[in-house]
Amino acid sequence: MMKRLINFLVKKPISVSVLILLQLSIIYMLIYQLSVQLTEFYFIIQGLNIFIVIYIINKNDNPSYKMTWIIFILGVPLVGGITYLMFGGRKVPKDIRTGIKELNNGQAILIQDQTIMNSITEKEYFRQARYLYDNTGFPVYKNTKVTYLSSGEAKFEALVNALKSAEKFILLEYFIIKEGYVWDTIKEILCQKIKEGVDVKLIYDDAGSKSLPYEFLDDCRACGIKCFAFNPLRPILAIYMNNRDHRKIAVVDGRIGFIGGMNLADEYINRISPFGHWKDVAVQFEGEAVYSLSLMFLQFYDHVSKEISDYSWYYGNPEKYDNVGYVQTFSDSPTDEEPVSQFSHLNLINSASRYIYIMTPYLVIGYEIIIALINAAKSGVDVRIMVPHIPDKKYVFSVTRSNYEYLTQNGVRIYEYLPGFLHAKVMVADDRIAIVGTTNLDFRSYFLHFECGALIIDDPSINDIVQDCKDTLAKCIEITYEEAKNVNFVVKLWRAILNMFSTLL
């Protein structure tokens, strides 16, 4: 029993959490003692709280986020302001902010072909593509083949086949890596490819991959994988621990690229089923748009490795495909204070004229998205949102369900994926435009995490996305307004309290 307790406590996430809580306890106890012993100190703290609240009110920030902190500061005045100074600013640390900003200069390599941009005839779609190019630097392409993969199993099979075909380089970036069949299979291929002379680079998020053993990095590097953990967990009181690398990117030889919801863990292909059937999706690209994915990865890699990559080496001379549609892969970063993913979702919702289907694991949305969804529904657009029926995080699921009543009352249709957990991140509208990527409909994805996605316009793959949404809807149960309204008062109160602090979840 004691040995198991020790093993539990020495795990990195637990030990880091314990040390952070210890630091907080010491700080809070010190503030309490000073407030009791020195009346002047107590009034200084209250004055500080007033200035912080005034600062928050006037700050150009998400209203829900501001309200949450104001409630907390006023509700716990002794430590509320101090806690905000430690955790509430949402500022990325200087080294990450400077590093990524400098590396973004590399995007000058990506020059938009204006004839392609101008050939997008739909005004709303042109504005969306133009917004992404102006604010992320990633251009629109035509010469790219798009394959929609409607399950984690399909993505895993395609990824394995692509990795086996590698001759020059492999780039992998994932939020979660867990030991098991998926990682063992991929690692075996990577180690073999290294023996064949292939350059293999891997980035994983240290918090997302918290279950990995301490020796994971050393084992990968011993095999020859150039492996790095993004934003390593440290037992310090720091805002930037909230900024996680939530992207999922894979590139092989500059020819084939993948993005989507699937991480490298067994539940994503239903080898294990902790939350029922796991539904995920991904997109495979072949052609010119893959280069954008390579640069996304390399910017991060150069930051974590402190190296300077030769971007031109990773171009790969991709095959040009004669397709009729448009593809624009893009990234979103908390370093630039531009909510690219949120604005892109808003643009797509507002541009829909007939229908919009949405798949998301979390529906933790603010006023802007709620009003856009309701406005679309009241304007005659068929708005359907699919979420899990079996959650991975019960408290977040409670916040998701807290939004049902207001949305369904105003015409938005909500569906829960009956077989289990829906992890896909998809928006598709009017048989013509879609966004598929890593961004959830929640505050963390919109404002705290590094994310990536793909805007797809008038491509044949749109038909596959629409069909997958219809197939998924057939496996869902619809939540009516009456069902959403007739919820036990205690449950409704609990959801309301959690929703009040949803931006901190």
Q: Which of 425, 442, 449, 468 is catalytic?
A: 425
Residue among 233, 240, 273, 198 at smallest CA distance from 100: 240
Distance CA 129, CA 484 (A): 37
Distance CA 210, CA 204 (A): 10
Asked about 423 being catalytic, the answer comes back as yes
Q: What is the DSSP letter of 449?
A: S
Distance CA 149, CA 256 (A): 14
Sorted by sequence, the CB contacts under 8 Å of residue 200 that are 6+ apart come out as 169, 170, 172, 190, 193, 194, 224, 225, 226
DSSP assignment of 15-42 equals HHHHHHHHHHHHHHHHHHHHHHH-HHHH
Q: Which of 12, 142, 201, 248 is catalytic?
A: 248
Q: What is the DSSP letter of 79?
A: T
DSSP assignment of 374-416 equals HHHHHTT-EEEEEEESS-SSHHHHHHHHHTHHHHHHTT-EEEE
Asked about 253 being catalytic, the answer comes back as yes
Asked about 425 being catalytic, the answer comes back as yes
Angle at 164 between CA 162 and CA 165, to 5 degrees: 65
Q: Which of 12, 66, 193, 423 is catalytic?
A: 423
Q: Which of 280, 332, 430, 459 is catalytic?
A: 430
Using alpha carbons, list the distances in angstroms from residue 364 to 50, 260, 372, 496.
Answer: 29, 20, 14, 12
Q: Which of 205, 245, 253, 442 is catalytic?
A: 253
Which residues form the catalytic set? Answer: 246, 248, 253, 423, 425, 430
